[in-house]
Chains A and B, each alone.
Chain A
Amino acid sequence: MSNYESVIGLEVHVELNTKSKMFCRCSADYFGKEPNTHTCPVCLGLPGSLPYINEQAIEDCIKIGLALNCKVSKKALFERKNYFYPDLPKGYQISQYRWPLSVNGWMDVEDASGKITRIRINRAHQEEDTGKLSHIGGVTLIDLNRSSVPLVEIVTEPDFRDSSQIKDYAKKLQQIFRYLGVSRADMEKGDMRLEANVSVRPEGFEGLPNYRVELKNINSFKFMVAAVEYEIKRQIKELEEGRTLRQETRGWDEDKQITYTQRVKEEANDYRYFPEPDLPELQIDEEKVKKIKNEIPELAWEKIEKYSKDLGIKPADAKNLAESKELAEFFESAVEHGKKHEVSSQEIANYILNKKIDINALLPAQIIEDIKGKKSGVLDDEEELKRLCEEVLKENQGIVEAYIAGKVNVIQVLIGKVMAKSGGKANAGKVKEILEKLL
């Protein structure tokens, strides 16, 4: 009985947060809005309408490609993907096929055991979203607010071998989108959608299996991981029991904890792709790519390296600090302040991470003040000081009698002893007051 390994590729669709839609001027901020209120002849697919390119979306797509180490194409074309569906008003989706905006990138992902694998990214291309269908009480309702919102599609080669890699990839992608500020990348809101293509083959076999199962319509990382794990087991079982696997689309049933058939694809759909005649060729010169590259902020992985190598932060802490751009920038600002007050980066890291601070409620400078305060650690607490003073008085009866006899200067000695007891932290002025009261 041979062992099997999984062969998995991922497709991610991310909705851009541009002001307008991809090919018209309607607002792209459609979530939660009254149905069919963000529409115009273009995104409604009315006769006579024509698409007009949203330049910001193109830039965002290129940014994503660059962040994924892709090569930006000098020439890119939009093509029509033709098929009929009620949520696709024109009867075709304007997408990219043979001439995508960017190609041949990569991302390093970590699996559960810490092993790093380089996942090859085939492309990051531009397209438009479809409308949204709701099935209610036997009828299907169509909301075209989402029609033609800009989407970027990112496709990997089938380089994934287990679900923990998939989880890492998805999380890292989401982080990139948020760092770049190109999308909210919220899976629950549909800003980011995952599709996995899963097959299995005998271990050691080099070729690609002759089928793949598409896992679709799964809207959380958790469910996708569960679905992939279940699917791998299911496929191996089928093969071991002598059955052949067919090309199909499956969904995840969270209640039954199984994948189930949604659509059987005997052969691939023929979308009759041809270049979009209504749109000019996109010509992207080096100047433009350079300009866009300069707009890309330092990304998470760069910050993690910087924190651990230059600042000596523990790798796990560095990862957590770089979780979001806002937190990372807060940390870096605090480090700058800390330099002036001899507060170390690790101290700041510990403070931020252990106290789970709310970075919207505090300023980085305040963190420094707080840490400084605790270090010089002036002990101000009246109760605590009183206790220490009483201890000292009890232990130094001789000096107390001297004070009462009129040698008031000996209070300094007592103050000194309280200071020693508190490790140098007691507020000297307050100690004097308390001692005088007690004496």
Chain B
Amino acid sequence: MDLTKLTLIETLDGLKNKKFSEEELNRAYFEKIEHLNPRLNIFLRAIKNTKGIPAAIKDIIITKGIETTAGSKILEGFIPPYSATVIQKLLNNNVSILGKTNQDEFAMGSSGENSAYGATKNPWNLEKVPGGSSSGSAAAVAADMCVFSLGTDTGGSIRQPASLCGVVGLKPSYGRVSRYGAIAMASSLDQIGPFTKSVADARLVLEWISGGDGFDANCFDEPFKKSLRAPAKQSLEGVKIGVPKEYFGEGLDKNVEKVIKEAIKKMEDLGAEIIEINLPHTENGVAVYYIVMASEVSSNLAKFDGIRFGHTRDKFGAEPKRRIMLGTYTLSAGYLEDYFIKAAKVRTLIKHDFEKAYENCDVIVGPVSPTVAWDLGAKITDPLTMYLSDVYTIPASLAGLPGLSIPCGFVDRLPVGLQILGKYMDEETILNVGEIYEQATSWHKERPKL
């Protein structure tokens, strides 16, 4: 039996029924990494464990005693003296840290090409990008190089690579999972979330990692718990699905649109009511995001002064430098009102768009990415084009809403992800809707040929 093909739940089951040992499990994954990583550049470092469920961790998440670089040269050699809360929670659930995964530097990017340690390759086609910024974590699950992984999502950095790599990716609501130990990009947007092989796995990992810790002042105390009152069902009868007009306009690849529309039709066949909704401020999302996020970035990256840890600031890559300068500008005297404050106000309008839409539907469904994976090197010379690839994921981030990306088809043998957005703190509904669709289709069983 190829242990690396098992989902988390299957793995836990297998261990419980003594079908295999934790040592065999860890060995199988470590060997897979040795075999595939040189070609894919997914792991920055891997650890040979003999116990625990092997999980891969995005390198922006602090792990005590294990080098943490956030994909940057400025933290090369940085060995943290403490672990993130989510790491501690995973360890408490018998998870082992299999390795740290590659990513766009400081979570800035949508392709993995901004890593200071070379780009990760998409396991479905080694000439294509895996998406970003959690490139390694998404690719690791796609290539069966771990049981599950953790990434971070600020403007789409879990959902988009999940879509491009054909795996499940979940961005929890802002305030669901503690950010303590996730190197901060944009403090009002960052969330840690899982990449998994199935929706049921994502639900379990969310239960493990969520909940307050007395360190993140914006995290709710109560962890996510699957409610016991809703019975498991196979139909979407009674579920109202909102489809935003603005997510199907110009810019969306026609083939991707076809796949998404088929997936929505499938949901309708499963009993859901499809309702067209409006999210009128969608077109302002990217502009608002790049102002708010860059402003917070310029401040959050000020601690990297080379005095107490890390190297000097010239070791930042081009994209971090770009965003630090942009964010410093948008906060500076004379410009603060026109940029930061204005963006903050429009952010509230975007939040209101969703609140209004949710009066008429339970979840909102649409594409994650305007295209499937593109060629390595194709967009890297034009940052703006890269920024625009986050148009469908950014608004939910600004509103703090939970978002799930699940595989729903292929274009030219490259995965397409379906985005399911929920009401604030309602991960349960998006996971349930996602699972019902998943179990009624077989996209999730597909694997790249490596």
Contact = CB atoms under 8 A, between A and B. Distances in A.
Interface of A: 41-42, 44-53, 80, 82, 84, 86, 89-92, 142, 270, 272, 274, 277-280
A90 B188 contact: no
Contact of B218 (A42, A89, A280): A280
Interface in B176-225: 179-184, 186-188, 214-218
Instruction: Across the A-B interface, give the 8 residue pairs with the lowest CB-CB distance, nearest first.
Output: A91-B302, A277-B187, A272-B331, A277-B188, A48-B62, A47-B183, A48-B181, A270-B333
Contact of A274 (B184, B216, B340): B340
B283 to A, nearest CB: 25
B183 A48 contact: yes
B52 interface: no
Interface in B300-352: 301-305, 307-309, 328, 331-333, 336, 340
Nearest to A24: B215
B244 interface: no
Given A91-B302, A278-B187, A52 B331 contact: no
B167 interface: no
Interface of B: 61-62, 68, 70, 75, 78, 80-82, 84, 179-184, 186-188, 214-218, 295-296, 298-299, 301-305, 307-309, 328, 331-333, 336, 340
Given A41-B82, A50-B216, A86 B307 contact: yes
A47 B75 contact: yes
Given A47-B183, A53-B217, A274-B299, 15 more contacts: A41-B81, A46-B303, A47-B68, A50-B179, A50-B217, A52-B215, A82-B299, A84-B305, A86-B307, A91-B305, A270-B333, A272-B298, A272-B331, A278-B184, A279-B218
Contacts, number: 94
20 contacts: A46-B81, A46-B82, A46-B303, A48-B80, A48-B180, A48-B183, A50-B215, A50-B217, A52-B216, A53-B217, A80-B299, A89-B308, A92-B299, A272-B298, A272-B331, A277-B186, A277-B188, A278-B216, A278-B218, A280-B217
B307 A142 contact: yes
Given A41-B81, A277-B188, A46 B308 contact: yes
Contacts of A49: 180
B70 A277 contact: no
A41 B181 CA distance: 9
A349 B259 CA distance: 92
Contacts of A84: 302, 305
A274 B80 CA distance: 29
Contacts of B336: 272, 274
Contacts of A82: 298-299, 302, 331
A96 B167 CA distance: 44
A42 B179 CA distance: 13
Nearest to A269: B333
A48 B308 contact: no
A44 B62 CA distance: 15
Contacts of B340: 274
A50 B180 contact: yes
A286 B267 CA distance: 52
Contacts of B179: 50
Contacts of B183: 47-48
A234 to B, nearest CB: 31
Contact of B217 (A45, A47, A51): A51
A52 B302 contact: no
B334 to A, nearest CB: 9
A52 B217 contact: yes
Contacts of A47: 62, 68, 70, 75, 78, 80, 183-184, 303-304, 309
Contacts of B333: 270, 272
Contacts of B181: 48
Nearest to A36: B308
A42 B84 CA distance: 12
B308 A44 contact: yes
A89 to B, nearest CB: 6
Nearest to B219: A50
Nearest to B179: A50
A32 B75 CA distance: 33
